[in-house]
């Protein structure tokens, strides 16, 4: 027996006025997901606990059976490892955004107008930065996908206890502050603020940004680190469950979770973590992982969360249909007599508030050992009648192992 866990990041939502009080999943009317629901058992899933609003890293760790409060203090190390940077035992790692700032280094846009492939060229320039005031600290930077990037600091006297949040629009960006009174936290905040200022110096006059301004796109004229953490302390997935696993993802955060849990993390051509992501290529990569001898495949699609954070209702519906095509390709490619298929969002993200939600999300399990419950549609609403009732993220893996007969 083997298992595939399909996660649509932020796919669940609330009833929306512009959809006649239906949710994006209901409007997408996902045929393959409905097929899965008809063959399986459904219910409500609290990724962390009832009413708790998860971050993507805490939610995805929880779905894989890792207690986020134990394994890690933040997302930085996952982002860095997923972007391809080495994270050593004494390093501190950060997620970074290319941002738009004004002349006085105050925030204009936290995603730099959603800069796309051009960010790669800018990333190469930022990679060359060496600190001048804090020259004792090594900086390792890598652009990942679009405006997303990661940073690893290596040296003496560093701490992850520095401000972790994106400033509000209009507030200064080189204003990272220590979160405790230690020398290390103060030192790290100073190091990061120097890095932010240097990034602005090398980026503000770069040709890519000159051209962006010319066509009325926001320049990516600074890099802002956030979400700092040290290397997580995680048992390998195989040790934990005896399953040889692969992780199929575009987003660095998820690739990092895969890497630190010892999964195979292939680079899938066309997996971008954005709206244009090739979900069918991901489905094929997942099926190939089974052929390659893996018995657990974790497939993650980021784009529904991105659409929700932009408040893009039509975009979210379209992305759910693309995820549905992935589910269809998987269902056509596996045999439920030897494969358990699980589908869930890691959390809901509201197109209305543009923020993650603390609501339970729809989860569905299908497989030969699963008793189907008569639910015929996969949606936030339909699974209230599901046979699973209400489970939490940490229940997923024990249930998978049970349905696999292990």
Q: Residues interacting with Zn ion, by CB under 5 A?
A: 9-10, 56, 305, 346
Q: How far is the CB of 4 from Zn ion (least distance, A)?
A: 19
Cα 21 off chain centre by = 27
Q: DSSP code of 268?
A: P
Whose Cβ is closer to Zn ion: residue 192's or residue 254's? 254
Between 254 and 285, CB nearer to Zn ion: 254
Alpha helices in 114-171 (DSSP H): 119-127
Q: Which residue shows structure tokens 């660095």?
A: 252
Q: Name the minimum Å distance from CB 47 to Zn ion.
A: 9
- If the CB atoms of residues 232 and 345 are measured against Zn ion, the closer one turns out to be 345
Please name which of 230, 190, 251 lies closest in space to residue 9, comparing C-alpha atoms. Answer: 251
User: What does the alpha-carbon distance between residue 368 and residue 371 come to, in Å, rounded to a whole number?
Assistant: 8
Give the ranges where 5-106 is alpha helix by DSSP (H).
24-28, 31-39, 56-63, 68-71, 76-83
Output the residue with the shortest Cβ distance to Zn ion. 56
Residue 314 is encoded by which pair of tokens?
Answer: 């039509």
- Give ∠ CA 304-307-311 in degrees, rounded to 5: 135
Q: How far is the CB of 254 from Zn ion (least distance, A)?
A: 9
Smallest separation (angstroms) from Zn ion to the CB of 240:
22
Nearer to Zn ion by C-beta: 60 or 188? 60
CB of 59 vs Zn ion, minimal distance in Å: 6
Whether the CA torsion 22, 24, 25, 26 is positive or negative: it is positive
Nearer Cβ to Zn ion, position 141 or 298?
298
Nearer to Zn ion, 9 or 295 (CB): 9
CB of 348 vs Zn ion, minimal distance in Å: 9
Angle at 382 between CA 357 and CA 61, to 5 degrees: 40
Q: Which is nearer to Zn ion, 13 or 305 (CB)?
A: 305
The structure tokens 């018995």 sit at: 295
**Rounded distance, CA 222 to CA 321, Å?**
35
d(CA 211, CA 386): 53
Nearest to 278 by CA among 289, 294, 267, 288: 267
SS3 label, residue 185: helix
Compute the distance between CA of residue 27 and CA of residue 320 in angstroms, rounded to an integer: 10
* Closer by beta carbon to Zn ion, 9 or else 395: 9
What's the min distance (Å) between Cβ of 267 and Zn ion?
21
Residue 320 CB, nearest distance to Zn ion (Å)? 14
């Amino acid at each position: 027996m083997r298992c595939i866990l399909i996660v649509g990041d932020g796919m669940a939502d609330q009833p929306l006025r512009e959809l006649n009080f239906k949710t994006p999943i209901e409007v997408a009317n996902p045929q393959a997901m409905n097929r899965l629901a008809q063959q399986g058992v459904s219910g409500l899933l609290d990724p962390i606990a009832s009413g708790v609003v998860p971050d993507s890293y805490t939610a995805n760790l929880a779905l894989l059976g890792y207690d986020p409060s134990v394994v890690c203090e933040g997302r930085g190390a996952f982002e860095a490892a997923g972007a391809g940077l080495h994270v050593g035992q004494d390093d501190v790692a950060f997620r970074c955004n290319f941002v738009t700032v004004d002349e006085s280094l105050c925030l204009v846009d936290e995603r730099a107008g959603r800069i796309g492939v051009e960010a790669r060229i800018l990333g190469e320039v930022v990679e060359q930065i060496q600190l001048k005031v804090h020259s004792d600290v090594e900086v390792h930077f890598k652009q990942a996908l679009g405006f997303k990037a990661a940073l690893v600091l290596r040296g003496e006297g560093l701490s992850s206890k520095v401000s972790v949040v994106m400033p509000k629009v209009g507030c200064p960006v080189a204003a990272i502050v220590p979160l405790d009174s230690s020398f290390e936290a103060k030192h790290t905040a100073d190091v990061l603020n120097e890095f932010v200022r240097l990034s602005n110096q090398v980026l503000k006059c770069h040709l890519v940004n000159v051209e962006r301004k010319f066509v009325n796109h926001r320049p990516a004229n600074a890099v802002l680190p956030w979400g700092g953490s040290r290397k997580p302390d995680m048992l390998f997935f195989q040790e934990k469950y005896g399953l040889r696993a692969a992780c199929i993802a575009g987003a660095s955060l998820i690739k990092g979770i895969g890497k630190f849990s010892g999964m195979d993390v292939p680079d899938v051509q066309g997996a971008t973590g954005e709206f244009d992501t090739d979900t069918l290529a991901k489905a094929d990569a997942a099926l190939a992982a089974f052929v390659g001898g893996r018995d657990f495949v974790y497939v993650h699609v980021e784009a529904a969360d991105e659409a929700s954070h932009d408040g893009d209702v039509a975009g979210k519906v379209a992305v759910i249909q693309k995820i549905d095509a992935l589910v269809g390709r998987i269902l056509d490619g596996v045999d439920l007599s030897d494969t358990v298929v699980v589908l869930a969002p890691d959390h809901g993200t509201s197109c209305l508030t543009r923020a993650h939600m603390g609501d339970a999300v729809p989860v569905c399990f299908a497989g030969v050992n699963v008793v189907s419950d008569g639910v015929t549609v996969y949606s936030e609403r339909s699974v209230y009648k599901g046979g699973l009732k209400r489970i939490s993220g940490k229940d997923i893996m024990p249930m998978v192992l049970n349905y696999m007969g292990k």
